[in-house]
Structure 1
Amino acid sequence: MKARIAASAALALGIALGASGCSMLTYQATTEHYDASDGVSVDVGELDLRNILIVSDDGVDGTLVMTVVNNGTEDVDLGVQFGVGGGETVDIEVEAGSEVVFGVDDIEGTDTVEPVVLEDIDTLPGAFLPMYFQYGSAEGVEKLVPVLDGRLPEYKRLVP
C-alpha cells in the first residue's frame, strides 16, 4: 500500500516537472527590454527619451523625432550633440514633470513643440547617427540613432 502511494506521488511529481520544466530552464525573451518602434530609447538621469529617430531624405538635414519625459522636479536643458567626433549641439528645454513630443503634433495629453531640425548630419537614410544626450551633472549617454527617409506616410511630413 505504501509503495503504491509513493509510486503515485513520484509519477505525479514526474508529470508536473515534465509539463512545466521547459519554462523553468528556457531563456525567457519577454523579460528583455526592447524598442517596439523604429527609434531607440535611452535614460539620462531623470529623463526618459523614447523612440528617438531622425527623418531625412538627403542625409544633410534631418528632423529629430522623440518623446522626452522629465520625471524630476526641476526644469532641465537637455543637450543633444550629434555627428561623428562631437559635431553640433542643440539645447532643448524640458519642464519638470512634463512629457514633450518632438517632431509630431496634436497628441492629446502631451506638449508638442516645433520640429527640431538638425543641420549637416552627414548621415544617409538607412544608417545610424551617433548622438550624445546629457544635462546638468547627470551622466550623459551616447546612442546610435537610426536615420529614416520619408517613404512611409507617417514620416513623409517630417522631412525637412
Structure 2
Amino acid sequence: MCVFTRSRAARIAASVVIAGGLLVGTSGCVFITPTATLNYYDPSDGVGATIGKVRVLNMLGIINEEGTAINLVTVLHNNGSITNVNIQFEEDGEKTTVTKPLRGGETLNLGTTPDDDTIVITGSDVEAGGLIPVYVQYGEEPGEELMVPVLEATGAYEDLAPAR
C-alpha cells in the first residue's frame, strides 16, 4: 500500500511540473518581450514631432509629375501661446526659412487640401521615394530636423501636387 501512495504522489507531482512547464513555455515570452504599444511611431505616411508646445503632424512632401517642385504637407498645432513657427529647408542649394504665425490653441493646415496655404520647395534633387530634411523651430525652443518622405501625387494625394 505504501508503493501505491508514492506512485500516486509521484504522478501528481509530475503532472504539476509538466503543467507548470507548459504554462511558462507558452506565456513566458510576455515576461521578457517589451510591449510594442510603448514604442513611438507615426501611423501615417509622414513624420511628426513635438517641439515645446507645438506639434508637427504628418509632415510629408508631394512631388509634381515633372519632379521639379515639392508641396510640403503638414498640420501644425500650438498648445501654448502666440508664436511664429520657422520651417527651414534647402532650395537651389541655399537654406530657405518660411515663418508661419500660429496663435495659442490654433491648428494650421499647410497644403493638406488644394485651398490651403502651401509651402512649395523647388530646386531640390530629392525624387519620389526619397527623404528631404526639414528643420522646424519656434521661439526660444530648440528645433528638430525631420527627414520628410517625398511621395508621388497618386491616390489620396493626387490633388496636392504643386503646379510648378
Q: Same fold (TM over 0.5)?
A: yes
CA RMSD of aligned residues (A): 2.8
| SS, match of residue 157 in structure 1 | helix
Q: Alignment length, in residue pairs?
A: 153
Asked if residue 52 in structure 1 is aligned to residue 59 in structure 2, the reply is yes
The 1-side partners of 2:125 and 2:67 are apart by 5
What's 1:71 paired with? 79
Alignment map for 1:32-47 (pairs within 5 Å): 32-47=39-54
What is the deviation of 1:14?
Answer: 4.7
Asked if residue 100 in structure 1 is aligned to residue 102 in structure 2, the reply is no
- Give TM-score, length-normalised by structure 2: 0.77
Q: Percent identity?
A: 34
| SS, match of residue 92 in structure 1 | strand
- Give TM-score, length-normalised by structure 1: 0.79
Asked if residue 148 in structure 1 is aligned to residue 156 in structure 2, the reply is no
Structure showing the higher helix proportion among its residues:
2
Describe the shift of the 1:142–1:86 C-alpha distance in structure 2 as closer, same or farther (beyond 3 A).
farther
Q: CA offsets per residue over residues 90-122 of structure 1, 9 Å max, x none?
A: 11111111222221249xxxxx84222233333
The 2-side partners of 1:61 and 1:69 are apart by 25
What's 1:135 paired with? 138
Describe the shift of the 1:18–1:76 C-alpha distance in structure 2 as closer, same or farther (beyond 3 A).
same
List runs of 5+ in structure 1 lacking aligned partners. 107-111
What is the deviation of 1:15?
Answer: 5.0
What's 1:158 paired with? 160
What's 2:87 paired with? 80
The one-letter code of the counterpart of 1:128 is L
